[in-house]
Amino acid sequence: MPALDGYRVLVTGGGSGIGEGCAATLVRDGATVTLCGRTQDRLDAAAERLRASAAPGADVHTCRGDVTVEDDVRAAVDAASVDGVLHGVVHSAGGSLHMGPLHLADADAVRATFELNMMGTFLTLKHAAPALAPVGGSYVGISSHVAAQTERFLGAYASSKAGLDQLLRTAADELGPARIRVNSIRPGIIDNELMTAITAGGPVLDSYLAEIPLARVGTVTDVGELARFLIGPDSTWVTGQCIAVDGGQMLRAGADYAPFAQPMYGEQPGWALVEETGGA
């Protein structure tokens, strides 16, 4: 694929995991990347690792910030741009503050999950769009396969990622006349430091592998290669898409997180409400 020499790309959540993996594919092909995240030490460590494999002329910068804080997002876009121009954004910042049955969920945890995944995406898109317009740039949001599949006990996370996808599909429609492309990636289970509790082995991993036709977990590089394609010049007629990178899990079903959720709530009747209400 053509090199990304001269490209300037902002990667949120870039200090670890999928964000760092996406940044690695971009700097390998010549892009200069600005990593945004909440922890400066983590950003600095990631930047050092990325510079070791960057192509000649590529560079890595950092900008500490929280994607749910509008001033921080504005500053990150400014830091990543040159003369107000930005070629791409990979918005990887996200997560979940809730696990368990929805009817037992803490409202603040659910609200914070939507704030992180939905509002973080919205704010980054809002402030990046004017910088992307002069070059017909590309915005890539990191969603999840659970945006399209139910996965018990991750309801807040799944719903917020589904909202992320719809927000970006609408943005693709609105921003098309400015030649800005907007797409999302739906990773499946990815082997990185954030998912070690699953990928190290056990019943949750087993439930994943049973639903993945390619019978392995993914890597950050699997996601990064698609992000690089969507940012680069080979995808100039691709917009409004939600593309799964999940080994085929979308063909089957979600994993079973009960082994993680049950210890937090116990074997109480609230799991199904059937015992509470006498329903059948």
Residues assigned a catalytic role? 157
Distance (Å, whole) CA 138 – CA 153: 33
Distance (Å, whole) CA 137 – CA 118: 21
Find, among 16, 18, 17, 127, the residue nearest to 69 by Cα: 127
Torsional sign, CA 51, 90, 144, 237: negative
Give 3-state DSSP helix, strand, coil % of the chain, rounded to 5.
Answer: 50, 15, 35
The beta strands (E) that lie in 159-217 are given as: 181-187
CA angle 137, 138, 142 (to 5 degrees): 160
Find, among 10, 15, 22, the residue nearest to 227 by Cα: 22
Query: What is the end-to-end Cα distance of the chain in Å, rounded?
Result: 57
Q: What is the dihedral of CA 136, 141, 146, 152, to 10 degrees?
A: -150
Reduced to 3 states (helix: H, G, I; strand: E, B; else coil), residue 116 is helix
CB-CB contact of 22 with 99 (8 Å): no
Find, among 241, 233, 119, 125, the residue nearest to 183 by Cα: 241
CB-CB contact of 153 with 100 (8 Å): yes
